[in-house]
A and B are shown apart, each in its own frame.
Chain A
Amino acid sequence: MRKEILYSLRSPYRESLDIIGFKFGGEEKTLAVVGAMRGNEVQQMYVCSKLISQLKILEAAGEISQSRGIMVVPCVNYYSMNIGKRFWTMDNTDINRMFPGYELGETTQRIADGLFRKIQGFEYGIQMVSFYQPGNFLPHVKIMETGFTDSNLMKLFGMRFGIVRTPRPYDTTTLNYNWQIWETKAFSMYTNETSRIDENSANEAVEGILRFMANTGMITKKIHSGYQTEIISENSISQIHSKTGGLFISIVKMGAQVAKNELLGKVCDPLDGELSSEIRADCSGIVYFEYSDPLINENTVCFKIIRD
């Protein structure tokens, strides 16, 4: 394993922000994995740290390709992590909305540029990502449809679902989108948590990435085959919204198979406890996202269902 400072930023009052990459294998630029880009993405950093631990073991056992190169960047924005902020410490901008970056631009554009210069040109890229609102996902892998990455490649992770997203204007400045524009086959990986550690889904993510590495010749260790990944379009996923605001109580479990009209949860008046609205499935399928905060506003996505 080689450790390399990929980008360093001086702060007026703190130690420098050093973005560290952990390199394994050969000199070919085969796979880059990027973890926490935001200060609350503890789980995303944790998955990368577990992956690095596994790769160290594989390296000691001689089970990493001598030619194929792997780089893992567990944490980009630990400045924000260390002070409990989600976005950039000074101006609250999101590094994952600054790609491909700009060397002469603003601070987060420079960070994005400095990182992107080191992680572009890889054959594959995996970003550990989080959702903008509190909630848990069934672990899955996702691509943004730019016409570059073949969605069938998601099957190499052996996760239960591979989801294809049609990019929206605000996606065009994310790492995943720009990786693809610069001809890296890019994947986003979602696990069950963001600001807390969920061991099971972290293990599932690490296994998925190792399986991808094994299937693409980066490692020689045999990884069990996993799921026969189902590739689905994000447009075909049903989003269930809350009809009222109040206290949110979920009734189903993540990953549950539900029937159309089945009760998924309810919203209660937070002051007198009266039932305010029921949340029911609008189709049969598998619950793959669940809102996780006890308070909920009207029209908030509280469940997502992969239709049967």
Chain B
Amino acid sequence: MIKNVVGASLAVNERLVIRKNRLKNGDGKKRLCIVTGIHGDELEGQYLAYLIGSKIKENISLLNGTVDIYPALNPTGIDSITRGIPLFDLDMNRIFPGTSEGTMPETICAGIIEDISGADICIDVHSSNIFLKELPQIRINVNSADVLIPYAKMLNVDLIWVHESATVLESTLAFSLNSTGTKTLVVEMGVGMRITKEYCFQLCEGVFNLMKQLGMWSGDVTAVREPIVSLNGAVGFVNSDAAGIFVPCVDFGETVSAGNHIGDVLDPLSGEVAEKVNAVCDGMIFTLREYPIVFGGSLLARILQTKGA
């Protein structure tokens, strides 16, 4: 059943409405929320939402509980290829938990939080941005790691990245929900403005495995992969120092050693190599730059570290 979660009237003849699809069967009390589309340029979750929704609808008798799918928390952003909330230039994932007495974005965020709160698990699906491609992974604030890692392992991702807490991240959907007792997992996979079908299939299998483990799904599920769990500090960052076009010479997911040549920043005008880019540590490349134009500082790769950098 399609439901309106929260809305507000826009200036001219239109309402901004956040909608969800509630799929419910049996007498199970468990509730799973799949949310995506906070950033309007991240689209991997759209296909995932479709895959989960269509499979459940076709096999509704196998569901015991409630699955709420929120494909577009920032509908005007998705509609206009805008990462933040159009007009406000605000990153929606820095406004949570919002407030019912606040501005339009704040009231929308408060309505979303109110609707999701109390779910047994919430999965917030992101797809990096238009610049970087990510291996399917779950990112967890170190403060929530003990509680969330067991569930994250059920989701068929390649990597669980436990990162340090930062005050600025206290305004995210995931932090707001986790801090009030609704377990929320943040998935990053693929690249902005694209759909990577194999990643969506991979995570979809993980979601049904999670549902099975929660007692919400009685259908068959496939065995999930054992993710690598990266504890804090075990990630090497490779940033460009030069400006130009980045052309990698390694593949996504490849294992490299510290000092290995992983790509070049090239100067199209002079025809020279502006910077030879090397791995900063041993490990697996789980983030790789997709958009070639770089400035000094542009992130080129992240390496899941296996030895000291």
Residues of A at under 8 Å CB distance from B? 9-13, 86-87, 90-92, 97, 104-111, 132-133, 168-170, 172-173, 241, 244-247, 270-271, 295-301
Contact = CB atoms under 8 A, between A and B. Distances in A.
B120 interface: no
Contact of A12 (B103, B169, B244): B244
Contacts, number: 102
Nearest to A97: B168
Q: Is the interface of A mostly helix, strand, loop or mixed?
A: loop
A298 B168 contact: no
Contacts of A106: 239, 297-299
Q: Interface size for chain B: under 10, 10 to 19, 20 to 34, or 35 or more residues?
A: 35 or more
A105 B83 CA distance: 21
A300 B103 contact: yes
Given A110-B296, A271-B13, A299 B8 contact: yes
B151 interface: no
Interface of B: 8-13, 16, 83-84, 87-90, 94, 102-104, 106-107, 129, 131, 167-171, 237, 239, 242-245, 267-269, 293-299
B226 to A, nearest CB: 31
B12 A295 contact: yes
Contacts of B102: 299
Closest 4 CB pairs of A and B: A295-B11, A107-B297, A245-B9, A299-B104
A298 B9 contact: yes
A92 B83 contact: yes
A241 B103 contact: yes
Given A87-B89, A169-B94, 8 more contacts: A10-B243, A10-B296, A90-B295, A172-B168, A247-B11, A299-B8, A299-B104, A299-B106
B171 A170 contact: yes
A11 B243 contact: yes
Given A91-B129, A107-B296, A110-B297, A296 B170 contact: no
Contacts of B269: 13
Q: Interface centre among B87, B90, B170, by most A CB within 10 Å? A: B87
A299 B109 CA distance: 13
Given A106-B239, A301-B103, A173 B297 contact: no
B292 to A, nearest CB: 10
A271 B9 CA distance: 14
B264 to A, nearest CB: 14
Given A169-B171, A170-B94, A104 B8 contact: no
A177 to B, nearest CB: 10
Given A105-B239, A170-B168, A299-B104, A10 B89 contact: no
B101 to A, nearest CB: 8
A192 to B, nearest CB: 20
